[in-house]
Amino acid sequence: MAPIFPVSDLATALAYYRGLGFSVREWRGGGYGYVTFDGVEIHLGVDPDPSRPGAGRASAYLFVDDADAVALTWLAAGGDVRLPQDTEWGQHEGALVDRDGNVIRFGSPMKAP
């Protein structure tokens, strides 16, 4: 399964994710793209009118080995990152918000005290 994130401009979105270290590719017919990170793929579909009724942002969860390392990598690349924090459900979680408002929450198991 792969989530589909609505984006206003595919070239801009692909460049943004490429800059964060994702592998990116565009569908040969245009208007649709794919970004991959650590074996997980997210699809990007152009939504020319994100303000229309029913349009909205999307989110995905990415399980990673080290949430702090991912956060620092994305911060260094200019990403809008919420730093990871420990949760009551045992995950150390953060979030990346892309330029279209889509959210990738990411987390790793909390370290033992």
**For the chain, what percent of residues have pLDDT higher than 70?**
92
Asked if 67 contacts 41 with a C-beta cutoff of 8 angstroms, the reply is no
Asked if 101 contacts 90 with a C-beta cutoff of 8 angstroms, the reply is no
Distance CA 65, CA 83 (A): 15
- pLDDT, residue 53, reads 59
Q: Is the pLDDT of residue 54 over 60?
A: no
pLDDT, mean of residues 55-72:
89
In the three-class reduction of DSSP (H, G, I as helix; E, B as strand; rest coil), residue 107 is classed as strand
- pLDDT, residue 89, reads 87
Asked if 43 contacts 32 with a C-beta cutoff of 8 angstroms, the reply is yes
For 15, the domain range is 4-48+57-109
What is the tens place of the pLDDT at every residue in 21-40? 999 999 988 789 999 998 88
Please give the C-alpha separations between residue 10 and each of 65, 70, 106, 111, in angstroms, as whole numbers.
29, 24, 23, 38
Number of domains present in the structure of the chain: 1
Q: In 3D, which of 8, 101, 99 has the Cα closest to residue 48?
A: 8
Q: Is the pLDDT of residue 49 over 70?
A: no
- pLDDT, residue 81, reads 97
